[in-house]
Structure 1
Amino acid sequence: MEAVNFLDLNATTVFLLFLVGFIGGMVSGFIGSGGAFVLTPAMMSLGAPAVIAVASNMAHKFPKALVASIKRNKYGQVDIKLGLIMGIFAEIGVFVGKEFMTNIRNNFGDTGTDLYVSVVFIVVLALVGGYVLRDAFRCKREGGDVEGAEHITPRLAKWVQSINIPGTMMRFHSIGGKRVSVLFIAPLGFATGLLAASIAVGGFIGVPAMMYVLGVPALMASATELVVAFVMGMGGSLFYAWEGFVDIRLAMIILAGSLFGVQIGAIGTTYVRDYTVKMIMGMIMIIVLFSRLFEMPVYLSDLDLISTISEGTSSLLSNISFGTLALALLSGAFAILAALLKGIKQHKKQQADAEYAASVAES
């Protein structure tokens, strides 16, 4: 088996990892995906093999997810029961995904895992990101921009909520106290864990699944996913550490930055509406997709699956990939901060108007 290649750290790399962790944490606290869909490509762009990036991401994710879930639970956004149930089934998926990843590395080396992770990223980001963006625009057109607009339950979720399978039904407050069969939750949790162990991103499935299959509002789905991330991240870290793939240095540096960023992201959710969360989530996904796309020819060439490309071309494609990733990080951070500041401004204005109206009524 190929030796484990850990990333060489210097002052610049440590700073970049901390910065990436901060922005990734902000994204995590805001959309509940764990932020790994920007963190994994970032570590790969800095030189970490995909399997190390995935394993180290899972190690840093579960304490961060715990902090974020506690923070958002204070705002009443977390369905703990749903998160724990999905997390149990996700843990099974994590174990299967870890075995799949290590088998790819044993047969094709680190480049094989780089290619696999990139292909999965591109496919999942295109499907989920495109769907989430489309739904965000639909939500805004149908009243998502109106204060207090009612959550619209998708047709699929209405059908799932209508199915009664005796002995498997459980009630969840995140869907208005309605009951859903555990038999629907089990495959969603398993798929979330499988994807998390393969590319360190379970929120791609977890958050949309809760929104569109179970009918959970976007804010609560993103918050509840943090509970799932905590459960499966803790187990996945142990599974990967047993194989020697966890780089605790990367995990701790990213975690240090994430713990600051996640607080800002979590606070931001209290000032925005569902469609804003979806819009930012979809935007970041599509930009990261192109980042991975530029690296594909490099991996294919290294595995002799296409004609060998020159070192200069390879370096150029890698630089473009890193620049695109940086654009995704900065765009996501700017969008979240802008939404937060706009929300705070509107909240203060509403408070001032209410105080003025109260004073007029008294006089």
Structure 2
Amino acid sequence: MESLNFIQLDMVNALYLFIVGFVGGLVSGFIGSGGAFVLTPAMMSLGVPGIVAVASNMCHKFPKALVGALKRARYGQVDVKMGLIMGISAEAGVLTGAHFQELIKQRFGDIGSNLYVSVAFVLVLGIVGGFVMRDTIKTHRAGIAEEEKPGRLALWVQSIHIPGTMVYFKSINTSISILFTLPLGFATGLLAATIAVGGFIGVPAQIYVLGLNSLMASATELVIAFVMGLGGTIKFAWSGYVDIRLAMIILAGSLFGIQLGAIGTTYVKPFMIKLVMGVIMLTVMVSRALVIPVYLSQLEILPPMDPTTMSLLKNVSFLVMILALALGAGIIVTALIQGRRAARLETLRKPMAIAVKPTV
């Protein structure tokens, strides 16, 4: 294997990664997607090769996911059986995707790895993020944000009975054939090994294909993330692609953020989770799209690009990513504050209502 030169870390970069880890953990605890769709670009913006960013992200991901899953399990939001079954099939996807990552790195070097990860981000974020945002706006305008019901696809999946493959899941109070869950889990793991986060497929798949509500899907995804993250870390570390320094700094910040994000889910309406997911996905998509021409030029697929233009695109990409972090954190914190305020007022109203209740 080609030797890797991990980046130099100073106090400024370490502090930056800690803050990014905190925001990533905040997002992870809130929507269950791992937050790696901001962490991977954040590390790449410091000059970390794409495959190292993905591998180091997976390394920090599985202990953080375990903490988040345990936290949200206390609120009754986790379907452990669903998480383990999909997690096992996701592990197969991770091993397949990791092998493909290594082949790209060996054939095209760091630039090829960066281009592959960035293109994957743009395609997945554009498709899934656009769908989630459209569904969020439609649901909110229809005035049915208080209650989530399975869509037509989920109802169809739940109606299919294949003998010998049916498994009961408490989150949807019905049985589903594992022939539906296995490919969804594999696709989740395959994407996780590509960009270090499978929640882009895992969470929407559980919502729109299997019929879980947003809270259960985002919490159950943390169980899947733990299972596939553990295996992915071993696979990438065996080949020498994990930078343990990056993983530990990000993990330190994430462990604080994920607690706050998990608490926030108890105070918000389900559609707010979709809103946060959609906003961050589409913003990060723009960030990654801006640097794709740079990588294409470096690989000589496009004509040579002026160094000033390349630097400008990279800087704008970085600023847009910071905007994604700020938007996600801002929405979550605002929703948390408003939710806690509403809960406190409701608590105060109950004793008052009892006090003024007329006696017979």
User: TM-score with structure 1 length normalisation?
Assistant: 0.97
After superposition, give the CA deviation of every residue in 1:93-143 in whole Å (9 maximum; x if it has no partner). Answer: 000000100000110001001000000100000000000011111221333
Aligned match for 1:290, one of 286, 292, 300: 286
Secondary structure of residue in 1 paired with 2:290? helix
Structure 2: distance between partners of 1:37 and 1:179: 32
User: Contact conserved, 1:27 with 1:332, CA < 8 A, in 2?
Assistant: yes
Match of 1:152 in 2: 149
Unaligned runs of 5+ in 2: none
After superposition, give the CA deviation of every residue in 1:317-363 in whole Å (9 maximum; x if it has no partner). Answer: 11000000000001111110000001011111111122211111166
Structure 2: distance between partners of 1:197 and 1:243: 14
Is residue 22 from structure 1 mapped to residue 19 from structure 2 by the alignment? Answer: no
Is residue 59 from structure 1 mapped to residue 74 from structure 2 by the alignment? Answer: no
Match of 1:31 in 2: 31
Residues 249-264 of structure 1 aligned to structure 2 (within 5 Å): 249-264=245-260
Secondary structure of residue in 1 paired with 2:77? coil
Structure 1: distance between partners of 2:27 and 2:99: 28
- Report the CA distance between 1:297 and its aligned residue: 1.2
After superposition, give the CA deviation of every residue in 1:168-215 in whole Å (9 maximum; x if it has no partner). Answer: 00110111x101000000000000000001110100000000000000
Structure 2: distance between partners of 1:7 and 1:230: 27
Aligned match for 2:272, one of 276, 279, 298: 276
Residue 260 and residue 112 in structure 1: after superposition, are their counterparts in 2 closer, same or farther (change >3 A)? Answer: same
Match of 1:321 in 2: 317
Match of 1:80 in 2: 80
Residues 1-363 of structure 1 aligned to structure 2 (within 5 Å): 1-145=1-145, 149-175=146-172, 177-361=173-357
Give, as a single letter, the amino acid of the residue that structure 1 aligns with 2:219.
Answer: A
After superposition, give the CA deviation of every residue in 1:268-297 in whole Å (9 maximum; x if it has no partner). Answer: 000011110001110000000010011111
User: Contact conserved, 1:218 with 1:277, CA < 8 A, in 2?
Assistant: yes
Structure 2: distance between partners of 1:284 and 1:19: 17
Identical counterparts, % of pairs: 59
- Report the CA distance between 1:144 and its aligned residue: 3.5
Deviates more, 1:341-350 or 1:49-58: 341-350
- Alignment coverage as a number of residue pairs: 359
Structure 1: distance between partners of 2:136 and 2:350: 30
Secondary structure of residue in 1 paired with 2:301? coil
Structure 1: distance between partners of 2:127 and 2:85: 26
User: TM-score with structure 2 length normalisation?
Assistant: 0.98
User: Contact conserved, 1:5 with 1:49, CA < 8 A, in 2?
Assistant: no
User: Contact conserved, 1:144 with 1:274, CA < 8 A, in 2?
Assistant: no
Secondary structure of residue in 1 paired with 2:265? helix
Deviating beyond 2 angstroms after TM superposition, the runs of 4 or more aligned structure 1 residues are 141-145
